[in-house]
Structure 1
């Protein structure tokens, strides 16, 4: 099936009062698992490749983007291709020739004024090329290379009035907000601020994005969507499923050397995780 645009999937989900999930792709097996899980759940999904994943592939986007796109096009599910947590402007500019319909431009480490300027520039560049732009306001901790951050610490969460001003000043198409989740959580114990989600949804005209959803329990995700969250990002949960199967196989087969023997169950475990998350969002 031809690739669908991220903006289309997010707009459809928002109009229906549903969520749409975006899953991080690191290897070919990740992409295949997302497509398989989406087919089983009979639901659309977003395949997203982060700047960190690009660094893992030697800083070269083309190969992993082409492989992920090929998997998506071969699937019967409605899938889009998204470039995630991009801080490098050169990587942002690589999105268009590689067929990405959307980019999350991450200027959250900058001061508010610098964030606005950099993001507005990214939005202008993206919109000239038909690319949907997501940005982040607030501090969603747990990113690789950053010091630990308490998701409940003062000043961490996104302020609705500031969010409204930010969206107006930058022209972004979606906004990732800090409401109690954190990246890279391996246990699903995060407690979200649902009143804040509701206030943010009322304050800004664009869809809200929940980063760090791997650490959020099922009921919290469902309530977050009811409160106004739309795009639900999932990464670590796939890696947990993947690594668990690889570890189990190698523990049981100490002399095994054929990667297909452990990558196949790892891919299957990720597909099950994908289908499980997609089932929450309908």
Structure 2
């Protein structure tokens, strides 16, 4: 199945919102990690979202090039090719783009889709995230409005964020963010609906104490009721149809009951990165420890090519990451619910 069209992506989001489940949105940095996501979604009969961050794009372009845009395009093109071999809908997304990266990362990728559409080709990415949470709320919403106006012309869905997701991810550190910034206000949620809804489709990462990175259960103090209160305020002001498509960032270490609670408040997308990174690396470490002598040419020996061939341990990492994504599909209740079923 080709990467989802705009109509299919909208159908995916509507179905998740109406039926109370969310899509795992998997950060990938290579063809191997992208393949793990594709297989997992197909195995679980779940549609899904594959996404690339600025750091992921830089890595994918290679250490000699370090071109965030080129790397993101490369991964997207790979997914476009491979998705045709699978029987579920896959959407392509870019993760956190902070204001200082808009001109160097986000705009070139939007331009790439604009060029493709002029040639009659499908969009490169289905959606992009602008993370203006570091800005004053008024300025954040103003920039979000300008970007959504451009995105909507090319049937691109924009994801925005107000409030701040704590912790550290992809080189951006919010560990010292003020406590009040970790919780989006209902006034912000109403204002976002007022300004952006007339323009086009968007997703909204409202914060409720969520934190990037990995933490032991109980260490993250989530307040899912923040989402409920905000959605209720939006519905009171503009009607039920104005309720936001919400995005859950920083879910590692969250209790499953809290995750399920957010699904009832309109979360339709949950970003997953830390847990899949660990799953991939854990399998690789296991391979190295169990086959130490075969991996290395030590004490006059020659090792064993079957074990040190990168394909041997990358395959195990890929399989382990695939299994973790399958768990995410089950946890988020997206399994068996492809719009193609």
Could you state the TM-score of these two structures normalised by the residue count of structure 2?
0.77
| Worse-matched range after superposition: 5-14 or 264-273 | 5-14
Give the match for residue 109 of structure 1: 134
Give the match for residue 195 of structure 1: 225
Query: Structure 2 matches for 1:234-249, cutoff 5 A?
Result: 234-249=272-287
Give the match for residue 211 of structure 2: 182
Q: Unaligned 5+ residue runs, structure 2? A: 117-122, 235-241, 296-307, 334-341
Shift of 1:270: 0.7
Query: Structure 2 matches for 1:90-109, cutoff 5 A?
Result: 90=103, 91-93=105-107, 94-95=109-110, 96=113, 97=116, 99-109=124-134
Give the match for residue 260 of structure 1: 311
Shift of 1:148: 4.5
Task: Give the alignment partner of residue 259 of structure 2, picking from 203, 217, 221.
Answer: 221
Shift of 1:25: 1.2
Does the CA contact (< 8 Å) of 2:157 and 2:202 recur in 1? yes
Does the CA contact (< 8 Å) of 1:3 and 1:81 recur in 2? yes
Shift of 1:177: 1.2
Shift of 1:151: 8.1
Shift of 1:154: 2.8
The yes-or-no answer on 1:250 pairing with 2:288 is yes
Q: Secondary structure at the match of 1:176?
A: strand
| Worse-matched range after superposition: 87-96 or 62-71 | 87-96
Give the match for residue 2 of structure 2: 2
Give distance in 2, aligned partners of 1:150 and 1:252.
40
Shift of 1:89: 2.6
Change (3 A) 1:67 1:187: farther
Shift of 1:150: 6.5
Give the match for residue 81 of structure 1: 92
Give the match for residue 157 of structure 1: 183
Task: Give the alignment partner of residue 166 of structure 1, picking from 161, 169, 192.
Answer: 192
1:10-34 Cα shifts (integer Å, max 9, x gaps): 2210022222221111111111111
Q: Secondary structure at the match of 1:86?
A: coil
Give the match for residue 120 of structure 2: none
Aligned length: 282
Give the match for residue 140 of structure 1: 165
Does the CA contact (< 8 Å) of 1:83 and 1:104 recur in 2? yes
Give distance in 1, aligned partners of 2:318 and 2:287.
13
Does the CA contact (< 8 Å) of 1:135 and 1:176 recur in 2? yes
Give distance in 2, aligned partners of 1:7 and 1:106.
21
Change (3 A) 1:191 1:39: farther
The yes-or-no answer on 1:16 pairing with 2:19 is yes
1:72-120 Cα shifts (integer Å, max 9, x gaps): 2221222111111123234223142461111111111122222122111
Give distance in 2, aligned partners of 1:20 and 1:64.
20
Give distance in 2, aligned partners of 1:146 and 1:51.
11
Change (3 A) 1:147 1:32: closer
> What is the CA RMSD across the aligned residues, in angstroms?
2.0
Give distance in 2, aligned partners of 1:33 and 1:166.
35
Q: Unaligned 5+ residue runs, structure 1? A: none
Give the match for residue 33 of structure 2: 30
